[in-house]
Amino acid sequence: MPANWLILASGGLFSGILAGLLGIGGGTVLVPLLVALGYSPVQAVATSSLAILITSISGTVQNWRMGYFNAKQVLYLGFPALATAQIGVYLASRIAPYILLAAFGLLLLLNIYLVDLRKRLVAKEPHATQTRINPLMARLGTGGAAGILAGLFGVGGGVIMVPLQILLLGEPIKTAIQTSLGVIVLTAISASVGHTLAGNVLATEGLLLGLGGLVGAQISTRFLPKLPDAIVSLIFRGFLGILSLYIFWQAWQSYSSLS
Protein backbone atom coordinates (compact mmCIF):
# COMPACT_ATOMS: atom_id res chain seq x y z
CA MET A 1 0.00 0.00 0.00
CA PRO A 2 1.91 3.09 -1.23
CA ALA A 3 0.03 5.43 1.17
CA ASN A 4 1.22 3.42 4.15
CA TRP A 5 4.74 3.32 2.73
CA LEU A 6 4.83 7.13 2.63
CA ILE A 7 3.59 7.32 6.22
CA LEU A 8 6.18 4.78 7.33
CA ALA A 9 9.04 6.56 5.60
CA SER A 10 7.94 9.91 7.06
CA GLY A 11 7.65 8.40 10.54
CA GLY A 12 11.11 6.92 10.16
CA LEU A 13 12.50 10.30 9.07
CA PHE A 14 11.06 11.96 12.19
CA SER A 15 12.36 9.24 14.50
CA GLY A 16 15.81 9.49 12.89
CA ILE A 17 15.92 13.23 13.53
CA LEU A 18 15.03 12.61 17.18
CA ALA A 19 17.64 9.86 17.43
CA GLY A 20 20.49 12.03 16.22
CA LEU A 21 19.34 15.15 18.05
CA LEU A 22 18.32 13.66 21.41
CA GLY A 23 20.16 10.32 21.58
CA ILE A 24 16.99 8.20 21.79
CA GLY A 25 16.12 5.14 19.74
CA GLY A 26 12.86 6.42 18.30
CA GLY A 27 10.67 3.56 19.50
CA THR A 28 8.50 6.02 21.41
CA VAL A 29 7.46 7.36 17.99
CA LEU A 30 7.55 4.23 15.83
CA VAL A 31 5.63 1.79 18.05
CA PRO A 32 2.52 4.01 18.40
CA LEU A 33 2.69 4.76 14.65
CA LEU A 34 2.72 1.08 13.71
CA VAL A 35 -0.11 0.26 16.13
CA ALA A 36 -2.16 3.13 14.66
CA LEU A 37 -1.63 1.61 11.19
CA GLY A 38 -3.18 -1.65 12.38
CA TYR A 39 -0.18 -3.81 13.25
CA SER A 40 -0.20 -5.88 16.44
CA PRO A 41 1.79 -4.59 19.44
CA VAL A 42 4.38 -7.36 19.18
CA GLN A 43 4.85 -6.68 15.45
CA ALA A 44 5.15 -2.97 16.21
CA VAL A 45 7.84 -3.47 18.85
CA ALA A 46 9.75 -6.00 16.73
CA THR A 47 9.63 -3.96 13.51
CA SER A 48 10.56 -0.81 15.41
CA SER A 49 13.66 -2.62 16.70
CA LEU A 50 14.83 -3.27 13.13
CA ALA A 51 14.24 0.36 12.14
CA ILE A 52 16.03 1.61 15.27
CA LEU A 53 19.02 -0.59 14.42
CA ILE A 54 19.34 1.00 10.97
CA THR A 55 18.82 4.52 12.34
CA SER A 56 21.24 4.20 15.26
CA ILE A 57 23.97 2.68 13.07
CA SER A 58 23.54 5.53 10.59
CA GLY A 59 23.79 8.21 13.28
CA THR A 60 26.69 6.52 15.06
CA VAL A 61 28.71 6.09 11.86
CA GLN A 62 28.19 9.79 11.14
CA ASN A 63 29.29 10.70 14.68
CA TRP A 64 32.40 8.52 14.21
CA ARG A 65 33.25 10.18 10.89
CA MET A 66 32.95 13.60 12.55
CA GLY A 67 35.14 12.54 15.49
CA TYR A 68 32.37 12.42 18.10
CA PHE A 69 32.42 8.68 18.89
CA ASN A 70 34.11 7.16 21.95
CA ALA A 71 34.04 3.35 21.66
CA LYS A 72 35.17 2.78 25.25
CA GLN A 73 32.33 4.86 26.70
CA VAL A 74 29.81 3.09 24.47
CA LEU A 75 31.01 -0.37 25.55
CA TYR A 76 31.01 0.58 29.26
CA LEU A 77 27.33 1.47 28.95
CA GLY A 78 26.35 -1.10 26.32
CA PHE A 79 27.45 -4.36 27.91
CA PRO A 80 25.58 -3.92 31.22
CA ALA A 81 22.55 -2.71 29.24
CA LEU A 82 22.50 -5.97 27.27
CA ALA A 83 22.71 -8.00 30.49
CA THR A 84 20.05 -6.15 32.48
CA ALA A 85 17.53 -5.87 29.63
CA GLN A 86 16.36 -9.38 30.49
CA ILE A 87 15.51 -8.21 34.03
CA GLY A 88 13.26 -5.57 32.51
CA VAL A 89 11.57 -8.16 30.29
CA TYR A 90 10.94 -10.36 33.35
CA LEU A 91 9.43 -7.48 35.34
CA ALA A 92 7.29 -6.24 32.45
CA SER A 93 5.39 -9.52 32.25
CA ARG A 94 4.38 -9.20 35.93
CA ILE A 95 3.16 -5.61 36.10
CA ALA A 96 -0.26 -4.32 34.99
CA PRO A 97 0.05 -2.30 31.76
CA TYR A 98 -1.46 0.89 33.19
CA ILE A 99 0.92 0.79 36.18
CA LEU A 100 3.82 0.20 33.81
CA LEU A 101 2.85 3.20 31.66
CA ALA A 102 2.28 5.48 34.66
CA ALA A 103 5.70 4.52 36.05
CA PHE A 104 7.29 5.36 32.71
CA GLY A 105 5.60 8.76 32.68
CA LEU A 106 6.93 9.50 36.17
CA LEU A 107 10.38 8.40 35.03
CA LEU A 108 10.31 10.91 32.18
CA LEU A 109 9.41 13.71 34.58
CA LEU A 110 12.23 12.59 36.89
CA ASN A 111 14.65 12.85 33.98
CA ILE A 112 13.63 16.47 33.37
CA TYR A 113 14.41 17.15 37.04
CA LEU A 114 17.80 15.39 36.78
CA VAL A 115 18.87 17.56 33.84
CA ASP A 116 17.76 20.71 35.69
CA LEU A 117 19.51 19.53 38.86
CA ARG A 118 22.78 19.18 36.99
CA LYS A 119 22.47 22.71 35.63
CA ARG A 120 21.88 24.10 39.13
CA LEU A 121 24.82 22.18 40.59
CA VAL A 122 27.18 23.45 37.91
CA ALA A 123 25.92 27.03 38.34
CA LYS A 124 26.40 26.81 42.11
CA GLU A 125 29.71 24.93 42.05
CA PRO A 126 31.71 24.92 38.77
CA HIS A 127 33.72 21.89 39.91
CA ALA A 128 30.50 19.87 40.16
CA THR A 129 31.20 18.62 36.66
CA GLN A 130 33.80 16.34 38.25
CA THR A 131 31.83 13.36 39.50
CA ARG A 132 32.46 12.08 43.02
CA ILE A 133 31.40 8.59 41.95
CA ASN A 134 33.88 6.12 40.48
CA PRO A 135 33.50 6.70 36.71
CA LEU A 136 33.53 2.98 35.88
CA MET A 137 30.83 2.20 38.45
CA ALA A 138 28.78 5.20 37.28
CA ARG A 139 28.94 3.97 33.66
CA LEU A 140 28.04 0.41 34.62
CA GLY A 141 25.12 1.69 36.71
CA THR A 142 23.90 3.99 33.93
CA GLY A 143 24.10 1.23 31.32
CA GLY A 144 22.43 -1.24 33.66
CA ALA A 145 19.55 1.14 34.33
CA ALA A 146 19.14 1.78 30.60
CA GLY A 147 19.00 -1.96 29.92
CA ILE A 148 16.29 -2.54 32.51
CA LEU A 149 14.23 0.26 30.99
CA ALA A 150 14.76 -1.10 27.49
CA GLY A 151 13.32 -4.45 28.55
CA LEU A 152 10.65 -2.98 30.82
CA PHE A 153 9.27 -0.24 28.57
CA GLY A 154 10.40 -1.26 25.07
CA VAL A 155 12.60 1.81 24.54
CA GLY A 156 16.26 2.15 23.61
CA GLY A 157 17.18 3.53 27.04
CA GLY A 158 18.36 6.92 25.83
CA VAL A 159 15.74 8.71 27.94
CA ILE A 160 17.63 7.61 31.09
CA MET A 161 21.18 7.31 29.69
CA VAL A 162 21.43 10.96 28.72
CA PRO A 163 20.37 12.46 32.10
CA LEU A 164 22.46 9.97 34.12
CA GLN A 165 25.57 10.63 32.04
CA ILE A 166 25.08 14.35 32.67
CA LEU A 167 24.43 13.91 36.41
CA LEU A 168 26.79 11.09 37.39
CA LEU A 169 29.61 11.49 34.88
CA GLY A 170 29.55 15.24 34.31
CA GLU A 171 29.28 14.74 30.56
CA PRO A 172 28.18 17.68 28.37
CA ILE A 173 24.72 17.04 26.95
CA LYS A 174 25.98 16.65 23.37
CA THR A 175 28.56 14.03 24.41
CA ALA A 176 25.90 12.17 26.40
CA ILE A 177 23.59 12.13 23.37
CA GLN A 178 26.31 10.87 21.02
CA THR A 179 27.32 8.09 23.43
CA SER A 180 23.70 7.10 24.05
CA LEU A 181 23.09 6.67 20.32
CA GLY A 182 26.09 4.31 20.08
CA VAL A 183 24.79 2.19 22.97
CA ILE A 184 21.39 1.89 21.28
CA VAL A 185 23.14 0.12 18.37
CA LEU A 186 24.03 -2.72 20.75
CA THR A 187 20.60 -2.98 22.37
CA ALA A 188 18.88 -2.79 18.96
CA ILE A 189 21.01 -5.65 17.60
CA SER A 190 19.99 -7.85 20.53
CA ALA A 191 16.30 -6.99 20.19
CA SER A 192 16.26 -7.36 16.39
CA VAL A 193 17.92 -10.77 16.43
CA GLY A 194 15.54 -12.08 19.09
CA HIS A 195 12.41 -10.82 17.35
CA THR A 196 13.61 -12.01 13.93
CA LEU A 197 14.15 -15.54 15.26
CA ALA A 198 10.64 -15.41 16.75
CA GLY A 199 9.18 -14.34 13.38
CA ASN A 200 7.82 -11.03 14.68
CA VAL A 201 9.70 -8.63 12.37
CA LEU A 202 7.97 -7.22 9.27
CA ALA A 203 10.96 -6.72 6.98
CA THR A 204 9.44 -4.37 4.38
CA GLU A 205 7.92 -2.03 6.97
CA GLY A 206 11.08 -2.13 9.08
CA LEU A 207 13.29 -1.24 6.12
CA LEU A 208 11.01 1.65 5.10
CA LEU A 209 11.10 3.04 8.63
CA GLY A 210 14.83 2.43 8.84
CA LEU A 211 15.63 4.15 5.54
CA GLY A 212 13.61 7.19 6.61
CA GLY A 213 15.41 7.12 9.93
CA LEU A 214 18.78 6.82 8.20
CA VAL A 215 18.18 10.10 6.38
CA GLY A 216 16.86 11.79 9.52
CA ALA A 217 19.83 10.70 11.62
CA GLN A 218 22.28 11.96 9.01
CA ILE A 219 20.59 15.37 9.09
CA SER A 220 20.40 15.72 12.88
CA THR A 221 23.88 14.38 13.71
CA ARG A 222 25.37 16.94 11.33
CA PHE A 223 23.25 19.69 12.87
CA LEU A 224 23.76 18.78 16.56
CA PRO A 225 27.36 20.09 17.01
CA LYS A 226 26.30 23.50 15.67
CA LEU A 227 23.54 23.99 18.26
CA PRO A 228 24.20 25.71 21.63
CA ASP A 229 24.05 23.34 24.61
CA ALA A 230 21.21 25.38 26.13
CA ILE A 231 19.06 24.86 23.02
CA VAL A 232 19.75 21.10 22.94
CA SER A 233 18.91 20.86 26.65
CA LEU A 234 15.66 22.77 26.13
CA ILE A 235 14.63 20.54 23.20
CA PHE A 236 15.46 17.39 25.18
CA ARG A 237 13.49 18.46 28.26
CA GLY A 238 10.58 19.71 26.15
CA PHE A 239 10.36 16.38 24.31
CA LEU A 240 10.38 14.47 27.62
CA GLY A 241 7.59 16.68 28.94
CA ILE A 242 5.39 16.15 25.88
CA LEU A 243 6.12 12.42 25.88
CA SER A 244 5.25 12.12 29.58
CA LEU A 245 1.80 13.66 28.95
CA TYR A 246 1.22 11.18 26.11
CA ILE A 247 2.27 8.24 28.30
CA PHE A 248 -0.01 9.33 31.16
CA TRP A 249 -2.89 9.52 28.66
CA GLN A 250 -2.08 6.00 27.45
CA ALA A 251 -1.99 4.80 31.09
CA TRP A 252 -5.46 6.29 31.69
CA GLN A 253 -6.78 4.66 28.51
CA SER A 254 -5.37 1.30 29.64
CA TYR A 255 -6.90 1.69 33.12
CA SER A 256 -10.28 2.80 31.72
CA SER A 257 -10.45 -0.27 29.47
CA LEU A 258 -10.46 -2.46 32.58
CA SER A 259 -13.62 -0.80 33.93
Strand residue runs (E) in 21-101: none
* Residue-level pLDDT at 207: 92
* Residue-level pLDDT at 253: 85
Its pTM stands at 0.73
From the number of C-beta atoms within 10 Å of its C-beta (0-12, 13-18, 19+), residue 94 rates as exposed
* Residue-level pLDDT at 118: 61
Helices 41-65 and 173-197: crossing angle in degrees, nearest 10, is 140
Domain ranges of the chain: 2-256
Q: Tell me the pLDDT tens digit for each residue of 164-179.
A: 888 788 888 888 888 8
> Within the chain, where are the H helices?
2-22, 27-36, 41-65, 71-92, 97-124, 135-153, 158-169, 173-197, 203-223, 229-256
d(CA 157, CA 100): 15
* Residue-level pLDDT at 209: 92
Beta-carbon count within 10 A of 58 CB: 24
Residue 173's closest CA among 125, 214, 143, 129?
129
The answer to whether the beta carbons of residues 217 and 55 sit under 8 Å apart is yes
**Amino acid letter for position 102:** A
The answer to whether the beta carbons of residues 74 and 183 sit under 8 Å apart is yes
Extract long-range pairs of 243-249: CB within 8 Å, 24+ residues apart.
Answer: 243/28, 243/108, 243/159, 244/105, 244/106, 244/108, 244/109, 244/112, 245/105, 247/101, 247/102, 247/104, 247/105, 247/108, 248/101, 248/102, 248/105
Q: What tens-digit pLDDT sequence spans the chain (259 residues)?
A: 566 888 998 988 988 887 777 777 677 778 778 877 888 877 887 888 888 888 888 888 888 988 888 888 899 898 898 888 878 777 766 777 778 778 878 877 887 787 677 666 556 655 545 555 777 888 888 888 888 877 676 666 777 788 888 878 888 888 888 888 888 888 888 778 877 887 888 999 999 999 998 888 888 888 878 888 788 778 878 888 887 888 788 788 878 887 6
